């Protein structure tokens, strides 16, 4: 395991956040929140119309021949927080809509389309220990592949504080219990029975070893790859999310639906609307209608998990 971000990390992130905003290096976009119920789930939708002003990165296939700028190769000093071991740096998100949103980036270029490695998982776990904002818990997320909602191709795992009372989809899925007929408790994923899109959740034990993290991620990834293959997906795209309590993975079939772009936060219950029209679309379609269209339908093997 890596050394956890030090005790001074919460102070560091707060002071860096304020100074980066003051210096104009960090764009903080105010947003409003609205809760939209969906069965026994509640999706918290952030409405941030001013995000439309954010510069949109060009993709490889765009006509302009100039190489795409990689903001993570030499991160801006105003956004830099600290190093994590030899391999990672922690930096502030330049375009945040929640304060103290930070990223764990690899120092050298590694592709975002690659799954998380043993070291990535270990670094993620250490970052999750940081008490960034008292009274909140950290959510880690990783958007992997071109249909996952990722906009940057350099490997980065993101962290946002979320209110502790907000029950995200994996919290509710786990409240249905783990399949008791399966003896490999801890490695056999469960999912929310009322959610149409394929997703896999495993609890994380207290003080997990790196092997505990790797085994769980491997189990979730194996099911994700099976689902992608069963649906004939040609590219591997999935969302990963994690707290100190659970890991979640959902395979992706589409980047957006009805103009609403969805990343890992959306798949666990935190959707983002960049206009009032998008908010109306989410309300009218229902959050589970939107996520079902950007995810993939569950396959039989997945359904069998609830045979208990």
- Contacts with ligand B4P by CB under 6 A lie at 46, 51, 54, 71, 79, 91, 93-98, 101, 103, 143, 149-152, 158, 160, 261, 263, 265, 270-272
- CB of 161 vs ligand B4P, minimal distance in Å: 10
54 annotated to bind ligand: yes
The distance from CA 82 to its chain's CA centroid, rounded to whole angstroms, is 21
Active-site annotation holds for 306 = no
Q: Is 143 annotated as a binding residue?
A: yes
Q: State the pairing for strand pair 41-47/270-273.
A: parallel
Cβ nearer to ligand B4P, comparing 250 with 298:
250
Check whether 198 is labelled as a binding-site residue: no
Q: Which of 101, 154, 156, 306 is catalytic?
A: 156
Residue 270 annotated as lining a ligand binding site: yes
**CB 286, CB 305: distance < 8 Å:** no
The nearer residue to ligand B4P, 160 or 292, going by C-beta atoms, is 160
What does R_g of the chain's alpha carbons equal in angstroms? Answer: 19
Strand partners, 297: 197
The answer to whether the annotation marks 292 as part of a ligand binding site is no
- Region of 304 on the Ramachandran plot (φ > 0 left; ψ -120 to 50 alpha; else beta): alpha
Spell out the alpha helix ranges (H) of the chain: 9-22, 118-128, 169-175, 210-230, 264-267, 276-285, 287-294, 300-303
Residue 135: CB minimum distance to ligand B4P, A: 17
- Residues near 242 by Cβ (< 8 Å), separated by ≥ 6? 124, 128, 139, 140, 141, 204, 248
What would the two tokens of residue 109 be? 């270029």
**Nearest distance from C-beta of residue 285 to ligand B4P, angstroms:** 17
- Residue in the block written with tokens 């495993």: 202
Q: Which residue, 2 or 240, is less far from ligand B4P as judged by CB? A: 240
Residue number closest to ligand B4P, CB atom: 71
Q: According to the annotation, is 261 in a ligand binding site?
A: no
| Interatomic CA distance for residues 275 and 241, integer angstroms | 25
Measured from the CB atom, the residue of 158 and 224 that comes closer to ligand B4P is 158
Determine contact, residues 48/167, Cβ cutoff 8 Å: no
Shortest gap between Cβ of 201 and ligand B4P (angstroms)? 19
282 DSSP 8-state letter = H
Q: How far is the CB of 181 from ligand B4P (least distance, A)?
A: 36
Q: Is the sign of the CA dihedral 153, 156, 162, 168 positive or negative?
A: positive
The residue among 103 and 288 lying less far from ligand B4P, judged by its C-beta, is: 103
Give the residue numbers annotated as catalytic, written as ranges.
Answer: 156
Known binding site for substrate: residues?
54, 93-94, 143, 149-152, 158, 263-265, 270, 274
Known binding site: residues?
54, 93-94, 143, 149-152, 158, 263-265, 270, 274
């Amino acid at each position: 395991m890596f050394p956890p971000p030090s005790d001074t990390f919460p102070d560091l992130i707060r002071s860096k956040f304020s100074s980066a905003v003051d210096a104009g290096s960090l764009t903080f976009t105010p947003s409003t929140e609205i809760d939209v119920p969906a069965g026994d789930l509640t999706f918290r939708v952030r409405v941030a119309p001013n995000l439309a002003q954010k510069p949109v990165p060009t993709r490889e296939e765009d006509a302009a021949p100039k190489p795409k700028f990689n903001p993570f190769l030499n991160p801006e000093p105003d956004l830099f927080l600290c190093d994590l071991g030899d391999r990672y740096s922690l930096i502030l998100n330049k375009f945040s809509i929640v304060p103290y949103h930070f990223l764990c980036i690899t120092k050298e270029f590694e592709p975002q389309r690659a799954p998380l490695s043993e070291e990535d998982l270990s670094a993620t776990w250490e970052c999750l220990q940081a008490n960034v904002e008292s009274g909140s818990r950290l959510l880690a997320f990783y958007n992997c592949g071109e249909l996952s909602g990722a906009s940057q191709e350099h490997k980065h795992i993101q962290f946002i504080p979320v209110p502790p009372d907000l029950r995200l989809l994996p919290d509710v899925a786990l409240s249905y219990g783990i399949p008791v007929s399966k003896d490999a408790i801890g490695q056999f994923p469960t999912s929310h029975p009322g959610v149409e899109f394929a997703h896999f959740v495993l609890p994380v034990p207290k003080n997990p070893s790196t092997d505990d993290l790797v085994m769980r991620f491997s189990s979730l990834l194996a099911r994700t790859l099976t689902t992608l293959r069963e649906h004939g997906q040609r590219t591997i795209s999935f969302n990963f999310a994690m707290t100190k309590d659970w890991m979640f993975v959902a395979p992706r079939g589409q980047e957006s639906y009805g103009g609403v772009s969805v990343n890992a936060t959306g798949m666990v219950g935190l959707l983002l609307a960049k206009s009032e029209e998008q908010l109306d679309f989410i309300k009218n379609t229902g959050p589970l209608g939107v996520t079902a269209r950007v995810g993939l339908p569950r396959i039989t093997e997945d359904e069998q998990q609830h045979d208990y």
